[in-house]
Structures are given as structure tokens and as C-alpha cells.
């Protein structure tokens, strides 16, 4: 006999911790959409782990009723993979900033993308290091002026969407914290995707890189007739200049990390393991 269906309202995913983000920070919008999605998908706190790196965005697990892990800077993905490997039944959501995910943690993104663990990775992309007071980040535009670049950033920003499509992520999408309904739909789709879902969310830092006035004019919905399984077309959308694409650019189904692991375990259990003395005899 099945027990009563227990579901939580978005409000019930809030913890007693209150965000200390600056009033107007885009991260509030991302958090609100995350609450909505968890409630809509009926993911219970006991079945959920939220893992973050360091940064203003890194505080997120403290605000979500779930298991949580605020890990060292840039290490959201290896820790998420470990959690998923240990307990594949958990819903795993990684969150962090563009600095955490693309600078210090940038070496982990290609490998998480190609390994395809069944998890969601949300970048709160404000194109700046917010927590450490406004240094330029890998997504800061050329010319960006701040404390660490008083004469303007001379570097090219990287393109998170084109990059993760190239790395082999099986779901690549982008949202905007100022469009909460659409963002909730996107988070729903990302969580429901079987495999590694990468979601870049433009989430302005009102204090150090206030882009609220410039972003709306750049927003462009992914065309309704876009074939999300077409990688070349997804690249075309990702590479459009001076446009913030909103929606899912790419989505395909491929074997997940856990499915591969399960296959190996099954094969290993069926095989007769070599005796230790046989292994040692090879070296004597």
C-alpha cells in the first residue's frame, strides 16, 4: 500500500536562513524559480542535494530545504559527481558563479559534460566576481571597467553555451533571472533531463556589474521550430553576436555516467575475480 502523497509548496522549500544578497541581486530570482521548480516537480528535501562553490551564488544551499554542501571554490562538479555516484537516486543540483564554474573550476566542466552524470548545473552568471567585490570574470565583456581592470578588460569573454555544446553536455540552455516564469520552466526541463543539464542563467550583480538596463534589449527566445537535437544549429544560436539566447539550445539522450557505472558493476560481479596470489605472481 502506498503512503499519502506529500508535496511542498515553493514557500516550504525555504530554510530559516534568509539570503543576505544585496537588494536587487539577480540571485533572488534564480532562487525563487528553483523553489517553484522543486515544488512543481515534487522533489522532496530527503531526495535532493544542492551543492555550491564559493561566491555570493555559493550561499544557495543554505536557503534550500535539502541536503547541501558548500564546497571549496570551483569544485561543485567533482563533488556532485561523487554524490551522484554514491547515491544515484538523489536529485543533484550544482550551483555557482561564472568565476567558480568557468575560472577556478573551469577544468571540471569538460569532464562533467562528457561523463554525463544525471544532474543539473546552474551557473548564476553575473559576469563578475561579486563576493570579492567586483573583479572581472571569464564572462566579463571586453572593456569592462572595475577595480581589477581600471583601464578596461582587454580579454575576450568566453561563450558558456558554445563551450558546453562543444564539451558534449547533453542539455544546454540559458535563462534570465528577470524572467522568472520562463526560468522556472527551464529549470524544470533541466532537472527532468536524463543526463548532464547545463543551465547558464544571466543573473545581474546590481552592486558591481549592473546590467539590468542593457540585458532586456539583447534577449532573444530560441525559435519555437528549433530542433534541439541539431548540434550545428545549436552552435549557430550560441554564436550569434550580442544576443542573449533564452531557452533550450541543445538536448539529446546519451548513456549517463551512472548507467555506465551500473554496466561495469554488473560485468565485474559476473566475472570471476582474479586471485590475489595470481596478481602478485605477475610481479615476482
Residue nearer to ligand SF4 on the CB measure, 102 or 171: 102
Binder of residue 54, out of ligand TPP, ligand SF4, none (CB less than 5 to 8 A by kind)? ligand TPP
Nearest to 105, CA basis, from 141, 137, 67, 146: 137
C-alpha cell at 56: 555570493
Does the protein bind ligand TPP through residue 257 (CB under 6 A)? Answer: no
Q: Which residue is nearest to ligand TPP (CB)?
A: 97
Binder of residue 132, out of ligand SF4, ligand TPP, none (CB less than 5 to 8 A by kind)? ligand TPP
Does the protein bind ligand TPP through residue 98 (CB under 6 A)? Answer: yes
β-strands 135-136, 244-251: how paired?
unpaired
Binder of residue 137, out of ligand SF4, ligand TPP, none (CB less than 5 to 8 A by kind)? ligand TPP
CA distance 196 to 126: 22
Binder of residue 22, out of ligand SF4, ligand TPP, none (CB less than 5 to 8 A by kind)? ligand SF4
Binder of residue 100, out of ligand TPP, ligand SF4, none (CB less than 5 to 8 A by kind)? ligand TPP
Residue nearer to ligand SF4 on the CB measure, 4 or 23: 23
Can you tell me which of 26, 68, 130, 204 binds ligand TPP, judged by CB under 6 A?
Answer: 130
Chain-centroid distance, C-alpha 270: 36
The answer to whether 83 and 69 are in contact (CB under 8 A) is yes
Residue nearer to ligand SF4 on the CB measure, 121 or 208: 208
Nearest to 66, CA basis, from 36, 45, 38: 45
Residue nearer to ligand TPP on the CB measure, 205 or 246: 205
Does the protein bind ligand TPP through residue 73 (CB under 6 A)? Answer: yes
Residue nearer to ligand TPP on the CB measure, 98 or 118: 98
- Which residues does residue 202 pair with via DSSP β-bridges, in sequence order? 125, 176
Subset of 28-67 contacting ligand TPP (CB under 6 A): 54-57
Give residues in contact with ligand SF4 (CB under 6 A).
21-22, 25, 27, 56, 126, 130-131, 205-208
Distances (CA, A) of 35 to 11, 179, 183, 238, 274: 7, 15, 11, 28, 50
First to last CA, the chain: 59
C-alpha cell at 26: 539577480
CA distance 83 to 78: 9
Does the protein bind ligand TPP through residue 26 (CB under 6 A)? Answer: no
Amino acid at each position: 500500500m502506498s503512503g499519502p502523497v506529500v508535496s511542498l509548496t515553493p514557500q516550504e522549500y525555504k530554510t530559516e536562513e534568509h539570503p543576505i544578497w544585496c537588494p536587487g541581486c539577480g540571485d533572488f530570482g534564480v532562487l525563487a524559480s528553483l523553489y517553484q521548480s522543486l515544488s512543481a516537480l515534487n522533489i522532496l528535501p530527503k531526495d535532493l542535494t544542492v551543492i555550491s562553490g564559493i561566491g555570493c551564488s555559493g550561499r544557495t544551499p543554505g536557503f534550500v530545504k535539502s541536503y547541501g554542501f558548500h564546497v571549496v571554490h570551483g569544485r561543485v562538479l567533482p563533488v556532485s559527481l561523487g554524490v551522484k555516484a554514491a547515491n544515484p537516486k538523489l536529485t543533484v543540483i550544482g550551483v555557482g558563479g561564472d568565476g567558480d564554474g568557468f575560472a577556478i573550476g573551469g577544468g571540471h566542466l569538460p569532464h562533467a559534460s562528457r561523463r554525463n552524470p544525471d544532474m543539473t548545473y546552474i551557473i548564476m552568471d553575473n559576469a563578475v566576481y561579486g563576493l570579492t567585490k567586483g573583479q572581472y570574470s571569464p564572462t566579463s565583456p571586453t572593456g569592462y571597467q572595475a577595480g581589477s581592470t581600471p583601464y578596461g578588460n582587454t580579454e575576450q569573454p568566453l561563450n558558456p553555451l558554445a563551450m558546453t555544446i562543444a564539451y558534449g553536455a547533453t542539455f544546454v540552455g540559458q535563462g534570465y533571472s528577470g524572467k522568472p516564469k520562463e526560468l522556472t520552466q527551464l529549470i524544470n526541463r533541466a532537472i527532468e533531463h536524463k543526463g548532464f543539464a547545463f543551465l547558464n542563467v544571466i543573473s545581474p550583480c546590481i552592486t558591481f556589474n549592473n546590467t539590468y538596463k542593457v540585458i532586456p534589449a539583447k534577449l532573444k527566445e530560441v525559435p519555437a521550430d528549433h530542433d534541439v537535437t541539431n548540434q550545428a544549429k545549436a552552435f549557430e544560436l550560441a554564436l550569434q553576436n550580442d544576443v542573449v539566447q533564452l531557452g533550450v539550445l541543445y538536448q539529446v539522450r546519451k548513456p549517463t555516467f551512472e548507467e555506465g557505472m551500473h554496466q561495469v558493476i554488473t560485468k565485474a560481479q559476473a566475472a570471476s575475480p582474479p586471485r590475489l596470489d595470481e596478481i602478485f605472481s605477475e610481479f615476482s
